[in-house]
Structure 1
Amino acid sequence: MRLPFFPVPAEGETVFSVVGRCAERLGIANHELMSILIGQRYVKTLFSPLPGYLAKIALAMPNGHPWQDISLLIKHHTALPYFTYFHPSDKRQLTFKMLSKAESPRPIIVGMGLTMYRTPPSPKSPRFCLKCINEQIVNYGFAYFLVAHQLPGVSVCWKHDQVLCDGCNNCGRYPLPGKKLTMPGQCLCNSFQPTAVSTHYVTAGAKWLARNSAYLLDSRPPGDAPIDKLRNGVILSGFGKGSLVEYPRLASAIEAQLGLKVLSSINYSVSENGKPSAWLRRYFSHAKTGRKLSTIAGLLILAAAFESIQDFENNITITRNTADSTSVPSEIAPPEKWKLNLQNTLNNYGFRISSCAAALNTTTWKIAATARDQNIHIPLSSHATQRIGIKRLAQIIRQLENGIQKKQIMNDHKVSEWSLLLIELSYPNLSIVRKKKTSDILLQRHRKVITDLLVEIPDATRSDVLKRFPGIYDYMIKKDKAWFQSMIAKTRGQQPDRREPRLDWQDIDYKLSKAITESAKLLLSSDIKLKRITVTTLLSEHGELQRYTTQPARFPMTTEVLNEFVETKEQYLLRKVSWGIKQLIAADLEISINSLRRMCGIPARKLDPYIDEIRSLIYRFGGQVAKRSKLEE
């Protein structure tokens, strides 16, 4: 249904704010407007960080309304640009397309990892700035909620540097009971007293976070591989060692830029026990494996290396324009040309490393390290052999094979790291053996930490390992996942109940088994009306059917008795036939299938398969078979 009227949204206004203004203008109840607008009564979906039913809302708009263009609605009136800023362009477009068609946003929110944020992706109560709503009333004649005030971790207005509010001291926090689409500044008591949000820290860090979070809503995303660009920018800003990020220095810079109060209020502590937090150390590695990334975590990292989002984007542009002349650290850099033909080059120079390095205009260390990685054999010179000594050379080789750390070998034998590298080149497989041995030693060392933890805390969980040994946790998940998961439980099991049992189950089981035995024997000896002996029959007679069915493990003796006396259909049929034969013999009657059928009340078709058993029972009890009966031999 297309509405005849719907308010034009203000710049940056939230979806639920515009719908609330419409309800006020039309003078109808919230649920009635929601039924017309999206076909259901509840407004909860509109308070989501990514509202649902946007396609239906676009279809309900009157002609000429801006929201008939659903792309404009999503880009300017939802937080999707914020949450997808650090996503690759293809994933960003896919999320945009899914939101434009989805009714329930829940699968998208879970798929993007918003439920895993350390701080809520949107506040429970809509937030507003007092100065902003005063300006809105002066300029437009009404107040409204802004998307920029609903972003995760934002508690300060980016424009006025003032603490945000989320309700009235007298009436409670928004949305108010009975008036879900309450507009900012409204209340039920007619004496509005604004309630500031609980995390009210007006610090430089809080202002930076608010300004740059708001900027993400209208900024141009950094294109493909945004996390790689952020990582390169962090390294170029001085927080790297070669191509690796120095996380301790990065954590200190984040704390200095934003402050401990802000980081604590949003639950993003950057250090634990003097070491960088796990979320910080894993951020870039998770990006490579396709794991879900937090936008607010990316903002915190960006705060350490750049003055603002604009500074980051400007640096990306400069780096892109100077890519031909400037080397940018990368995880996967193209190999230098000389590395592709190093074997032949060394051969041409008689495997003299210094001559080869001079010809290729590089260092001897690079030549030697590359040759080792390519498993190229370079014989140890006689001068080096004489300097090291044959006996000491054999000891060094043995220690390298055993995975002893190079620093210890250098101290023990007073040799340089260059000498150890030359030894590895003269024995090509030595480096491979040493790496394998070193990795085995490291694995066993980490396993010992886990086993020691289990001795200390027998019911330790994976969360306990992550909190106490984050580095070991990462290593085990990557290198020894099967063993780790077999040793450490995912969650702590239910604690044993140490209370005294309120019932003596052993006594109950004993008494019930005795009672069932007597009942079963009584049923077997009955000559009046036979009744099949079943679990239900015996337990119902003593009122214990439900308790036994729900807790059979508590009744071992009863179970044993039931297994002894409970009859199958075949056993019951033959017992009933035996009873019928005895009754016919007592009446001095000849026995046929027909007479037996009438006496026992069993259809003849059910007796036919047991002709032989019935005949043997008749002879055993001394009965007489009727002539021309099926029972006659």
Structure 2
Amino acid sequence: MASIVCIDVAALFGGRMAFIRNCSLSALLPNETIYSWLARAGLISGLATDHDFLLVRLGYTGQQLTSIFPPFIVQVSQSVGLDINEIITKHGVLPFFKPFIRSDTFKNAHDNLSKGLCVDSYNQFSLLANRIPEPTVLSYCSKCAAQDIKNVGVAYWHVAHQLPWINYCPFHLIKLEAIKRERKLLALPPQVASEDKGLTQASLKQARLAQDAYALWSLNLEAIDSDVLRKIYLHGLNANNLVCNYGSVRQGKWQTSLKEYWVNELPKGLFDAVFGGSKSNSYPSNFIYQSHAQFHSLKHLLVIQHLFGSLSEFLKCCSNPNQLNVRPDHVINDVFERVNPEKTDLLLKQLRNGMSMRQAAKRANVSVGYAKSIAMQNNIRIHRRAQFLFATERKQILSRLKAGELTTSIAKEMECSQSAVEQLLTQFPDIKELRIQLRFEKQRDIHRSAVKECLNSLEIPTCGKVQKFQRSAYTWLFKHDKEWLYKALPEAIPRINRRRVY
């Protein structure tokens, strides 16, 4: 196994690195990121620039070197002689997302990554939709760096320190140091062991989060079924008195409790992204009411620690989900007594014999809501009663529908139910198509006006500036009204002049 002993890289490469000694380049080091291996190889390659080295080693064409889903796994695998799957599992962050991603989606992302196709992973894992931005820094622990220099002769980047938004070392429980990520440059952590003075110790919650994140990555767990996951969360909510007497989740109380639990514990950028970016305030209640959607693993860890205290307690619940109590005991008993199998059988018999839903519910002594639910589960057609509307009212409603008014506002003005308005609308498919066209034209006019105002406000309008300042309108028009957009925009700047500053 080849090794480099006591090489003064600073002298050889103009001060780019201090000393790298006893450093094996024939294999990846324990818990080392793929980018870190590239940086070590590049710094002692003897080539003049990083770009020259990357071109020779990877056939580099400008990919982002520090991405959490690196595009050059195949080339590194060939260089170090390691199986691609082992590199992905032990030297990349992909296992961190595995438990909370559908199995087929994860397999597809894994296969693409093993072929060097990394871009789709962000969309497949819904990372952009979750609004948690990728960190802009590379992190290292000063104590881990000192141990690395002592043990292998070089401080390198650890996967454990690059897990998204984990700011503390899971081993030493101190705050990680950071340097800015560079898209096209190779860099390693400082190669001089720092003193222990001034190190920030993690709080109990910060320490648990770092350790649980590392455990989630290192365990390489299989995907957890969404229905099982929902049941486990309901159990945790029930245990924390966040389920009301009727079995529904206390959504507002849960969100407030979760916020208060993590305030002053998370980095401001992460806290704002998780709790401040969504106008609908759907997190964390969407874990229950949109359980089949995909969410960032970090969002799951925040909820897991809040409800269960640690990942290990959560995994205990995963091992035996059928014995979990998801609702208050008195509610479960009440439901069992009120809706027993005999009542359900009687209800089904009456519904199948043609009895109305309300009559069948009364005969079986159950609620109309329960009767409706049972009918839908057993594919029994429900005959709904339409609210009676006089001919004059129907005419007014149709006129308003043709004008594109919202069904909610029509119902309010006409003092009738929204369902009655919508049922009337279903009888006139041509009006339905007209309303779709009206909504499209309204949306189009709004975006056209935004682009026009932007063009008028710019001293020297260009396509790039319009796209920058009115990205939403520009994108919509590009998809749905491209011909008008291209006519409205100024002529393209000749390619030779595009880098000039205006």
| TM interval, short-chain normalised | 0.5 to 0.7
| Cα distance in structure 2, aligned partners of 1:498 and 1:24 | 48
Shift of 1:106: 1.8
Shift of 1:157: 1.8
Alpha-carbon contact 2:234-2:326 (below 8 Å) kept? no
Give the deviation of 1:93 after TM superposition: 1.7
Q: Are residues 1:118 and 2:131 paired?
A: yes
CA distance in 2, matches of 1:327, 1:284: 12
**CA distance, structure 1, for counterparts of residue 66 and residue 214 of structure 2:** 18
Q: 1:117 to 1:499 in 2, by over 3 A?
A: closer
Secondary structure of 1:31 counterpart: helix
> How far is the alpha carbon of 1:432 from its aligned partner?
4.5
Partner of residue 38, structure 1:
58
Q: For each residue in 1:114-163, what CA deviation from the matched residue of structure 2 results, as whole angstroms up to 9, or x when unmatched?
A: 33443322x32311111111122233332111112222222222222222
Asked whether 1:234 is paired with 2:243, we answer no
Contact 2:169 2:176 in 1 (8 A): yes
Q: What residue number does 1:312 align with?
A: 314
Pair 1:278-2:290 in alignment: no
Higher mean C-alpha deviation, range 151-160 or range 10-19? 151-160
Question: Conserved in 2, the CA contact under 8 Å of 1:248 and 1:276?
Answer: no
1:145 to 2:157 alignment: yes
Query: In the alignment, what sits opposite 2:96?
Result: 82
Q: Deviations over 1:47-101 (max 9, x none)?
A: 101111212221233xxx4xx2111100111111113330122222221111111
**Counterparts of 2:204 and 2:388, CA distance in 1:** 48
Between the aligned partners of 1:26 and 1:46, the Cα distance in structure 2 is 17
What are the equivalent positions in structure 2 for 1:39-78 lying under 5 Å apart? Answer: 39-40=59-60, 42=62, 44-61=63-80, 65=81, 68-78=82-92
Q: Does 1:109 align with 2:122?
A: yes
CA offsets per residue over residues 245-302 of structure 1, 9 Å max, x none?
33212212312332255264302353799x97234344555553xx553222222222
Number of matched pairs:
377
2:255/2:283 contact within 8 Å kept: no
- Structure-2 change in CA distance of 1:297 and 1:346 (3 Å): closer
Shift of 1:192: 8.3
> Matched residues, percent identical?
18
Which residues in structure 2 correspond to 1:190-339 (within 5 Å)? Answer: 202-225=202-225, 227-237=226-236, 238=238, 239-241=242-244, 244-260=248-264, 262=266, 264-266=268-270, 267-270=272-275, 277-288=281-292, 291-320=293-322, 322=323, 337-338=341-342, 339=344
Residue matched to 1:397 = none
Structure 1 residue identity aligned to 2:321: T
SS of equivalent residue, structure 1 residue 126? strand
Q: TM-score, normalised by structure 2?
A: 0.60
The residue number in structure 2 matching 1:157 is 169
Q: 1:493 to 1:9 in 2, by over 3 A?
A: same
Q: State the secondary structure of the residue aligned to 2:166.
A: coil
Deviation string, structure 1 residues 303-346 (Cα, Å, up to 9, x no partner)? 321212222111110225x48xx7899xxxxx975424525489
Equivalent residue number for residue 110 of structure 2: 96
Whole-angstrom CA distance in 2 between matches of 1:219 and 1:70: 18
The residue that corresponds to 2:419 in the other structure is none
CA gap 1:313/1:276 in 2 versus in 1, 3 angstroms: farther
Query: 1:369: Cα distance to partner?
Result: 4.9
**Shift of the alpha carbon at 1:444?**
4.5
Cα 1:254–1:69 shift into 2, 3 Å: same
Query: Higher relative contact order by CA 8 Å / sep ≥ 6: 1 or 2?
Result: 2
Which residue pairs with 2:25 in the alignment?
Answer: 6
One-letter amino acid of the structure 1 residue matched with residue 178 of structure 2: D
Check the 8 A contact 1:85/1:221 in 2, yes or no.
Answer: yes
TM-fit CA distance, 1:216: 1.7
CA distance in 1, matches of 2:100, 2:458: 57
- 1:169-184 aligned at under 5 Å gives the runs 173=180, 175=182, 180-184=185-189
Determine the C-alpha separation between the residues in 2 that align with 1:138 and 1:501.
59
Aligned partners of 2:373 and 2:456: how far apart in 1? 64
Map 1:475-486; keep pairs closer than 5 Å: none
The answer as to whether partners of 1:251 and 1:276 remain within 8 angstroms in 2 is: no
Kept after mapping to 1: 8 A contact 2:141/2:175: yes
Match in the other structure for 1:524:
none
Q: 1:484 to 1:17 in 2, by over 3 A?
A: same
C-alpha separation between the residues in 2 aligned to 1:51 and 1:435? 63
- Deviation by residue 1:467-507 (Cα, 9 ceiling, x = unmatched): xxxxxxxxxxxxx99887765678681463798999xxxxx
1:371, 1:552 → 2: CA distance?
Answer: 59
Alpha-carbon spacing, 1:206–1:243, altered in 2? closer, same or farther (3 Å) = same
Equivalent AA in structure 1 for residue 233 of structure 2: V
Counterpart of 1:37, as a letter, is R
1:413-456 CA deviation, whole Å, 9 max, x = no partner? xxxxxxxxxxxxxxx96x744799xxx9xx7447899xxxxxxx
User: Is the Cα contact below 8 Å between 1:127 and 1:145 reproduced in 2?
Assistant: yes
Q: Which amino acid aligns with 2:309?
A: E
Q: Aligned with 2:178: secondary structure? A: strand
Determine whether 1:136 maps to 2:128: no
Return the letter of the residue paired with 1:217. Answer: W
Contact 1:205 1:259 in 2 (8 A): no
Determine the C-alpha separation between the residues in 2 that align with 1:191 and 1:142: 10
Give the Å deviation of 1:215.
1.8
**Contact 1:158–1:210 (8 Å) recurs in 2:** yes
What's 2:497 paired with?
Answer: none
In structure 2, runs of 5+ residues without a counterpart are 1-23, 329-338, 376-381, 390-396, 398-405, 413-434, 460-486, 491-502
Contact 1:286 1:293 in 2 (8 A): no
Q: Report the CA distance shift for 1:341/1:302 in structure 2 as closer, same or farther (over 3 A).
A: same
